[in-house]
Chain A
């Protein structure tokens, strides 16, 4: 059996007394777009730097093609990094920046190099910029050159450290699409670090959610979004209404729960078992909810406390059994309600999930 492209095995890393990476283990497959997602300071960049060889690991192992690369210095590893600030060499023009890798490794003749530089520039749509100096380029252009400079080395893995962080929102959206295309076109394995969940959800094949140096969840964007496995992922990904409920009865896929006088049926998580009579957590995406004027099955009864119009979206706050719930709608079609109206809140089935009640939930005052 072929070993996975990259395996992380119980990787641990300390900065002084601070334990920044805790028993990190997962594998990366050939050709995938994998994102390390987490808040700043969670250890995702450190993990990336460990893969690049720019940081050493204290225990555990990193295997590339099944062979340990732990003791291998960064310049001998077949992985390349696109740095957060691009790190283009300011004294070299675009051509020399891109040619830097092959030249120091003496892996090509100058004629081959000319062709290869042209190829990668074509790939990032920057042909004709060879003679420009980095300071003559815009942020987005520098970004492309940084990618081209890494890709020319044909790395087994391309590591990208928040590469879109410095760009404005519009360009960021554009570059997201472009990066995803580029990844498919080259077939290069991308490991992408970001704190931006939209970026991660848009581009990735798989996402590794990291918090406090630990892997919280690993899965497809859809899976991560709809089936969060714990408190952190539930609160970090998407905006959700979170309520404590009590389980009335459990079925195969769904469970009936009670919130105040409402009894509703909610999707049950695969990985957790719930028993009738115990308390649980109900989490529903705000944008998967809708306000209905008429009484419907499987709905929560509430009173509108405020309505805010914010651009294309409408935020409606309601009181449901003493709890405040926020509903985000994009078009007001169904129910023209006003403050003080008594209404019903319904939701798309996959937008709601039940989770077991953990200590941490109570500590957070849910």
Chain B
């Protein structure tokens, strides 16, 4: 009775979010097994066709494109971001605060603006081509837009702060005396980095990877603006199916596939992070 009274105020909150997240997800789940008629209206009839189409070579290609994009984004942001996090945590206090500020600031800058900036830089009439031409390096503009790599750069650019923040927290938590102990026992800087720093920051890397990988699956506006639809990704596909294709059951099936991938990545992270908690429980 007492516990019931204590919990009663919390019920509306749980119900409210449950209603707005859980129920819609359930709808998607159900919808992914339904059919549609020729006009695109949903027909309540059980089918596995939507899921079969996920494995249809054309759509499978899209699915793999997205996984590849998310994976490469994770790797690229890791390679670029790790040194940034590492160097920042070793800076003297004032410079360190400045560096952290500069890393965090993009969180506040409109993501559309940041994508658009790349259109201005990379376009045929863009800044980079202008500068290169003015310097006489090239005669004809380099074609840098509307490629897989353009989308990759844009997506990585959008998400790299997440990676840096995750790694920074991990590097910064690192006990300095462990590094000193490593030097003291005869390891050089490189050995210390690979034997101590890197293994101990794996939870941070895993966290950053999760934070980057999941959004990278669905940033359709980046691939739309920078990829120009030359490579089709899951986000674009779902978006087109919903807004123009009017094939919502298929979009629902793809959303489910995306959620499954996300759950896999998160549970993988859960494993790594669990080891971490035990390891750090000194």
Using CB atoms and an 8 Å cutoff, list the residues of chain A in contact with chain B: 52-54, 73-76, 79-81, 83-85, 87-91, 100-101, 104-105, 133-135, 149-150, 153
Contacts and interface: CB of A to CB of B under 8 A. Distances in A.
Contact of A80 (B184, B191, B199): B184
13 contacts: A52-B184, A54-B183, A73-B183, A75-B186, A80-B184, A83-B180, A87-B177, A89-B181, A100-B187, A104-B182, A104-B186, A105-B186, A135-B279
B211 to A, nearest CB: 22
A101 B188 CA distance: 11
Nearest to B186: A105
Interface of B: 175, 177-178, 180-188, 191, 195-196, 199-200, 278-282
A133 B278 CA distance: 10
A90 B279 contact: yes
Given A134-B282, A135-B282, A89 B186 contact: no
Contacts of A85: 175, 177
Contact of A83 (B177, B186, B187, B188): B177
Nearest to A96: B195
A81 B187 CA distance: 13
Contacts of A76: 186
A80 B184 CA distance: 6
B200 A81 contact: no
Nearest to B275: A91
Contacts of A135: 278-282
The 3 closest A-B pairs by CB, nearest first: A101-B185, A87-B181, A104-B187
A6 to B, nearest CB: 16
B279 A87 contact: no
A101 to B, nearest CB: 4
Given A91-B279, A104-B186, 16 more contacts: A52-B184, A73-B183, A75-B185, A79-B184, A87-B175, A87-B178, A88-B282, A89-B182, A90-B178, A90-B200, A90-B279, A90-B280, A100-B195, A104-B185, A135-B280, A135-B282
A80 B180 CA distance: 11
A75 B177 contact: no
A74 B184 contact: yes
Contacts of A75: 183-188
